[in-house]
Chain A
Amino acid sequence: MIFRVLTKPLPTPPPVLRQGPLRAGFFRSRLRSIALTARVGTLLGACLLVAFVTGLASHLAQHPQWGLSYPTRPVMLYRATQGLHVAVGLACIPLLLLKLWAVYPKLWQWPPARNLLHAAERSSLLLLVGSAIFELLTGLQNIFYWYSWPFFFTTVHYWTAWVLAGSVLLHVSIKWIEIKNGWSSALAESPPAIHADGDAPTPSAPTSEPTGEPAGVSRRGLLVGVGAGIALVAVTTVGETLRPLSGLDVLGPRRPDIGPQQLPINRTARAAGVRAAASDPAYRLAITGRVATPASFSLAQLQAMTQHDVRLPIACVEGWSAEASWTGVSVRGLVRNAGASQSAQVRVVSLEAGGRYRTSLLESAAVADHLTLLALRLNGAELDLDHGFPCRLIAADRPGVLQTKWVTALDVL
């Protein structure tokens, strides 16, 4: 019954309205075809899936939930998944534009809606296309620190990812037959290209150009061009996380060797408002919370403790990463000496007065990890103020914003 209402034909609008791109045969590129659409769409879908899964992993690293948290080994895992997230996201931009180009004539199909179901399906595309462009655009702007919106990036990017993933699944479900037909038809040109629904383009009007010589790029050439563009973007940006390619990183927002002590930073001590507090000789590190004997140490006392050396990357959610040698005091040793339990969690507190990343949580697995340090030295020299002097957290597989700098307390939970 409902189905009958939904599929009841709607009146066709008066033909006089059918102007401009709504006219039959307005779009004439012979490169468009369901074969192309299906292939580009599948590739885009696969890339979006990789971006979704790696993004979800990064979200879990920042907000452990559903009993899931990010693993602490291998130590290169977070830098790899987040580097992949950003690289794949950048690759999605040309793929999305190509996919939208391939189906663009359908935006102007006539009649605009055959029935209510068709109208609903077309309306859902607004959310699909809008959320896809939104995710890629905000991601691109974020890695280049271009905040032209009022919302908070990571929260919006995360929830919109669910909207996009859902819209893609719905789209695949609706278009399943077309996708199958597209894959079973050959990619090579076969005039005239006909879309499964919507208007078939008028059989190509006799052109003034002689036949026998292609009038431009072929369908394969189109894919080669976009593929080459994607590859070039990857080569000129991925060096921000893939050290061997850092010399080719000419368009990436970071270089892994540029920054104080040849290591990038996200926030300076000045921007964090901690210059005075961090340079104060009266600085103390407090061990507080659920411990048998709360303790407090000066910088000299921390320096006098057994020092450990670890080699770990700083890996930012923005996709850049850089490896460094860190020297400092074991967090596990500090809290166990104070009498914390074996399964304790630790809230790491910064000197910052406020802000979203003033504290970060070390789950019990990270507390117990012998690689988790309060670092006092970086690459053999005393920690720079901008890297978190007097001491900073460094642990395996944590987003950079959670590698808390200017640490003033370990609060055992």
Chain B
Amino acid sequence: MKQSVGRAIVGAIGIGFVVVGVRGILTHSHDTHPRSWITWVIAAALAHDLILAPAIAVVGVVVGRLVPRRARAAVQVGLLVSGCVLVVGLTAVLTPGGRHYADNSSLLPLAYGRNLVIVLAIVWTAIAIAIVVALRRRTRRVEAAPPSQDG
């Protein structure tokens, strides 16, 4: 009972915060363009649910079908790490900001495309090493084990 009262209070505070936020969006319409705002919020959710998530699922299925069992976990970890890096790295590569503020050489000063490739190359080198080490260890284990224990 006590707990459900606590939950109700937390929920009520939550609704209060949402009201504060939506009211702020509406009362600062000169800055916030409420119509564009709500379009972006809904489009963000739909873009994830209907495009990004299915795309990630397809990658998962393809990896499950194509990558040999013994290498699969390592490849999946590599893809997870790469995905995290790509979110930031692709934003750095694709942003028009550098062109837009071309007279400011301190803004986006790095060769992001090259750097992204290097970071991903390091990640996949590490993954490849992990796969080779795991396969070797396994082969050695299989060789070391007497045949009678193998079934």
Residues of chain A at the chain B interface (Cβ within 8 Å): 29, 90, 93-94, 97, 100-101, 104, 107, 126-127, 129-131, 133-134, 137, 140-141, 144-147, 149-152, 155-156, 158-174, 176, 209, 213-218, 221-222, 224-226, 228-230, 232-233, 236-237, 249-255, 258-260, 263-268, 270-271, 386
Q: How close is B137's CB to chain A, nearest CB, in angstroms?
A: 14
**In the bound complex, how far is the Cα of B46 from the Cα of A133, in angstroms?**
10
The answer to whether B76 touches A169 (Cβ under 8 A) is no
The answer to whether A90 touches B106 (Cβ under 8 A) is no
Q: How close is B56's CB to chain A, nearest CB, in angstroms?
A: 7
Q: Is B45 an interface residue (CB 8 A)?
A: yes
B residues contacting the other copy or chain, number (CB 8 A): 77
Within 8 A of A (CB), among B92-131: 92, 94-98, 100-101, 103-110, 112, 115-116, 118-119, 123
By a CB distance below 8 angstroms, the chain A residues around B100 are: 145
**In the bound complex, how far is the Cα of B80 from the Cα of A225, in angstroms?**
6
The answer to whether A214 touches B48 (Cβ under 8 A) is no
**In the bound complex, how far is the Cα of B95 from the Cα of A225, in angstroms?**
27
Q: How close is B134's CB to chain A, nearest CB, in angstroms?
A: 12
24 pairs across A/B with beta carbons < 8 Å?
A93-B87, A94-B84, A97-B83, A101-B53, A133-B44, A134-B41, A144-B92, A145-B100, A146-B91, A160-B25, A163-B17, A166-B18, A167-B17, A169-B11, A170-B11, A216-B73, A229-B85, A232-B84, A236-B85, A237-B88, A250-B115, A250-B118, A251-B89, A255-B106
By a CB distance below 8 angstroms, the chain B residues around A271 are: 101, 103-104
State whether A176 and B7 are in contact (beta carbons under 8 Å apart), knowing that A100-B53, A163-B22, A166-B14 are contacts in the complex.
yes
CB closest chain-B residue, reference A90: B88
**In the bound complex, how far is the Cα of B78 from the Cα of A221, in angstroms?**
11
The 5 closest A-B pairs by CB, nearest first: A229-B84, A145-B97, A166-B17, A169-B14, A162-B21
The answer to whether A233 touches B84 (Cβ under 8 A) is yes
Q: Is B28 an interface residue (CB 8 A)?
A: yes
What 0/1 readout, one digit per residue, does chain B (15-46) give for beta carbons within 8 Å of chain A? 11111111011001001110011001110110
State whether A150 and B36 are in contact (beta carbons under 8 Å apart), knowing that A94-B84, A101-B53, A169-B17 are contacts in the complex.
yes
Of the residues A140, A163, A259, contact of B105 by C-beta under 8 Å: A259
The answer to whether B123 touches A232 (Cβ under 8 A) is yes
CB closest chain-A residue, reference B76: A217
Q: Is B135 an interface residue (CB 8 A)?
A: no
Q: How close is A170's CB to chain B, nearest CB, in angstroms?
A: 3
The answer to whether B87 touches A140 (Cβ under 8 A) is yes
By a CB distance below 8 angstroms, the chain B residues around A172 are: 10, 14
**In the bound complex, how far is the Cα of B92 from the Cα of A224, in angstroms?**
25
The answer to whether B32 touches A127 (Cβ under 8 A) is no
State whether A170 and B123 are in contact (beta carbons under 8 Å apart), knowing that A101-B53, A151-B37, A225-B76 are contacts in the complex.
no
State whether A168 and B42 are in contact (beta carbons under 8 Å apart), knowing that A159-B32, A216-B64, A232-B81 are contacts in the complex.
no
